[in-house]
Chain A
Amino acid sequence: MTTSINARAGASSGLRLARTIALRVGGVLLILLVISFLTFTLIYLAPGDLVKNLLGNRPSTPAAIAAIEAQYRLNDPFFVRYVDWLVAALQGDFGISIRLQQPVTTVIASRLGVTGSLIAFSFILALITAVPLGIASAAKAGRLIDRVSSATALFGLSAPSFALAILAISVFAIMIPVFPAYGAGQGWLDQTWHLILPSAVLAAGIGAILMRMTRAAVLRELESDAITFARARGIPERRVQRIALRAALIPIVTSAGLILTFIIGGTIIVETVFALPGIGQLLEEAVLFKDLPVVQAITLLVAGSIALITILVDLSYMLLDPRVRARELS
């Protein structure tokens, strides 16, 4: 009897979970649609001669202009053009880069690797240094280790990436030439070597946010009634700390949103300063050269990845916190 009730409850909560996820995904798709419309409008309103922009460095003969107008359907009404673009984009065709004369998807795909490894490296670097430091300084709040690591985190939070990047280049590439100053390098080992300095710079900011979050969360948990009660019951200190850490994980995971916004700004800056051929640098160049199809595609790519990660964070929140799970599924 009880098992059948449990099974039914399980099935219906699974159904509710699926519905919650479907609702979130639907919301995200709607937001992406709105953003695609906004970027399209923005680019439509961009100042300057669109035909001239689209021509790039080709000669502006009447025939070429006519070809451009036909290719981009410049004489069609705004909404027709938007719908055409949207239909093509849904089929994976984001047009042709004006500056590079290659399909936008090819250009972006060729840059994705560098940016992906840069973000992955710096994230892992920040994770393995900042989280233990945050836990340690919460456990020893007010002592030397806490003061030193809190001050370091404050510095990492306050120093703009571009200042850190220039500092890193001057010290570790010019004064003490250990690391390469810029470029992506050739081959697997060389590429990794070229990524160390940029990753360290990006990791400084991520680590600073992460460390402060971890410290605050663990500190709050250690002061909570639940932990006092656990100690009063005589539960060994090691287990008490494990309980505190598990509960502290929730606010740490939810700081992902803040970290994500930092990573996106930071990647653009770091790739520009270190001349890394990634998405950030591509965007910076595309904006400079008014390579509008590329700008549009990157904006959507970024918005899409942010939306995806936000959903994952919210789902992990449900996984970690039974209270949220109960509320979301009821």
Chain B
Amino acid sequence: MTNLTQQVTLSSRIRIGPGKHRDWVVRVSTVFLAIIAIATLIAPFFTDLARKQSILDSLLPPGSPGHLLGTDELGRDVLLLTLAGTGSAIAGPVVIAAGSMLIAIIVGTLAGYLRGPVDWAVGRIVDVLLSLPVMLVAIVVAGIFGAGYWVTVGMLVLLFCPSDIRIIRAGVTEQAPRPYVEAAQMLSLSPARIMYRHIVPNVWPLILTNFMLNLAIALVTLSSLSFLGIGVAPGTPDWGRQITDGRGILSDNPAMLLVPAILIVLVAMAINVLGDYLGERLRERGMQ
């Protein structure tokens, strides 16, 4: 029953109205995400610069000379802080979405194609993991063990993969009885080859749309955790952390809080727009 549930929710997650106006929304989202990707790549080079404190320049409002977005109470430049924070805000979610997808492709395909005891064991593990919400486990484990950034990211990879495994397994079981698989079996190709060279490419649309969905959820989850002070050390440039710090100086420099908050929302929206669009295109192609 739950498998069916998953399938239904997956296929109904994606879909947004037709219309010409969507073309430019998709284009703008793509360009915006490209800019964010570049910012993520260059972000590490700005970390030291962003950490530079100067008490004389503390709490400058946005628009001050030399500090376009002003400074925080330690005199750190908000623009540099935001740029440096892009790294941890974006790199983690990409690793989470990609890592959980990779695990899910390997495990989900095994379970869906081989069935039998493998499928049963995977199914039971997934059942247990799915009955624990990601945020709860993340807060409890990372909070109690005081986990750092990459440990938190690794844990989120493990927490994200059960639902992915279920989705890919459903896709693979749907592909397994098809004639092309039978043909491959007749040629006595190895099961590994049938699974990963023949079946996986056919569930690719499922993988891609789910990757985009996970990316947006991971971005929101990770920034929520760092907002609570989990996964990032104090003083590290990070969007979620910046929002926590920005609450205290809201009246002096609202940019400290507003800029990263708006960026998180815009990035997540752009990812969702692109995910919806990709899902729709791939489904149209699949129907032809």
Chain A residues with CB under 8 A of B139: 268, 283-284, 287
Give the distance in Å from the alpha carbon of A97 to the alpha carbon of B74 in the complex.
38
- B interface, by DSSP: helix, strand, loop or mixed? helix
A324-B4 contact, Cβ under 8 Å, with A155-B265, A265-B134: yes
CB distance from A249 to the nearest CB of B (A): 12
Q: Are B269 and A166 in contact (CB under 8 A)?
A: no
- Chain B residues in 8 Å Cβ range of A141: 17-18
CB distance from A13 to the nearest CB of B (A): 16
Residues 203-247 of B contacting A (Cβ, < 8 Å):
216, 220-221, 223-224, 227-228, 240, 243, 247
- Most chain B beta carbons < 10 A, residue from A27, A251, A313: A251
B21 at interface by CB-CB < 8 Å: yes
Residue B132 contacts which of A35, A213, A269, A292 (CB distance < 8 angstroms)? A35
Cβ < 8 Å to B, chain A residues 309-330 = 310, 313-314, 317-318, 324, 328
Contact A160 B264 (CB under 8 A): yes
Taking A47-B145, A251-B12 as contacts, is the C-beta distance between A160 and B19 under 8 angstroms?
no
Across the interface, A254 reaches (CB within 8 A) one of B9, B128, B135, B223, namely B9
Please pick, from B17, B134, B227, B228, the residue contacting A150 in the complex, using a CB distance under 8 A: B17
Which residues from 175 to 205 on chain B have a C-beta closer than 8 Å to any C-beta of chain A?
A: none
A313 in complex: contacting residue of B5, B132, B133, B136, CB < 8 Å? B5
A166 touches B243 (CB 8 A): yes
Contact, CB under 8 Å: B144 / A290: yes
Contact between B140 and A162 (Cβ–Cβ < 8 Å)? no
Q: A154-B273, A283-B139, A284-B228 are in contact. Are A46 and B145 (CB under 8 A)?
A: yes
Cβ distance B24 to chain A, nearest Cβ, rounded Å? 13
- With A and B bound together, what is the CA distance between A117 and B17 in angstroms? 35
| B141 beta carbon closer than 8 Å to chain A | yes
Closest Cβ–Cβ distance, residue A200 to chain B (whole Å): 17
Q: How far is the CA of A200 from the CA of B257 in the complex (A)?
A: 21
Cβ of A163 and Cβ of B131 under 8 Å apart? no
Chain B positions within 8 Å of A260 at CB level: 133
Report yes or no: B135 in contact with A265, Cβ–Cβ below 8 A. yes
Shortest distance between the CB of A115 and any CB in chain B (Å): 13
Task: Tell me, yes or no, whether A216 is within 8 Å of chain B by CB.
Answer: yes
Q: Within 8 Å of chain A (Cβ to Cβ): is B55?
A: no
Instruction: Please indicate the chain B residues that have their CB under 8 angstroms from the CB of A318 in the complex.
Output: 1
**Chain A interface bracket (under 10, 10 to 19, 20 to 34, 35 or more):** 35 or more
Which residues of the other chain, B, contact A251 by a CB distance below 8 angstroms? 8-9, 12
State which of A255, A264, A272, A317 has its C-beta within 8 Å of the C-beta of B228. A272
Contact for A158 among B228, B240, B272, CB less than 8 A: B272
How many whole Å from A253's CB to the nearest CB in chain B?
9
A217-B12, A257-B9, A269-B228 are contacts. A142–B18 as well, Cβ < 8 Å? Answer: yes
State in angstroms the CA–CA spacing of A254 and B16 once bound together: 20
Asked, given contacts A159-B268, A167-B261, A264-B133, whether A295 binds B17 with beta carbons under 8 Å apart, the answer is no
CA distance A140 to B27 in the complex (A): 25
Question: Which residue of chain A has its CB nearest to the CB of B247?
Answer: A166
> Is A106 an interface position by the 8 A CB rule?
no
Query: In the complex, A255→B224 CA distance in Å?
Result: 23
Given A155-B269, A166-B261, A261-B133 in contact, is the A161-B8 Cβ separation under 8 Å?
A: no
CB within 8 Å of A: which of B265-279?
Answer: 265, 268-269, 271-273
Query: Is the CB–CB distance between A268 and B136 below 8 Å?
Result: yes
Residues of B within 8 A of A254 (CB): 4-5, 8-9
Residue of A nearest to B266 (CB): A158
Does A194 interact with chain B (Cβ within 8 Å)? no
Extra contacts, 15 of them, besides A317-B5, A318-B1 (Cβ < 8 A), are A142-B19, A147-B19, A154-B273, A157-B268, A160-B223, A160-B224, A162-B240, A166-B243, A216-B13, A255-B12, A265-B221, A283-B136, A287-B143, A302-B136, A314-B2
Residues of A within 8 A of B (CB): 27, 31, 34-35, 38-39, 42-43, 46-47, 137, 141-142, 146-147, 150, 154-155, 157-163, 166-167, 170, 212-213, 215-217, 219-220, 250-251, 254-255, 257-258, 260-261, 264-265, 268-269, 272, 283-284, 287-288, 290, 292, 295, 299, 302-303, 306-307, 310, 313-314, 317-318, 324, 328
9 pairs of A and B residues whose beta carbons are closest in the complex: A265-B135, A158-B268, A287-B143, A216-B12, A158-B269, A163-B261, A264-B133, A216-B15, A160-B220
Some 11 contacts from A to B, beta carbons below 8 A apart, are: A157-B216, A158-B268, A162-B227, A255-B9, A257-B5, A265-B136, A268-B135, A269-B228, A284-B228, A290-B144, A295-B144
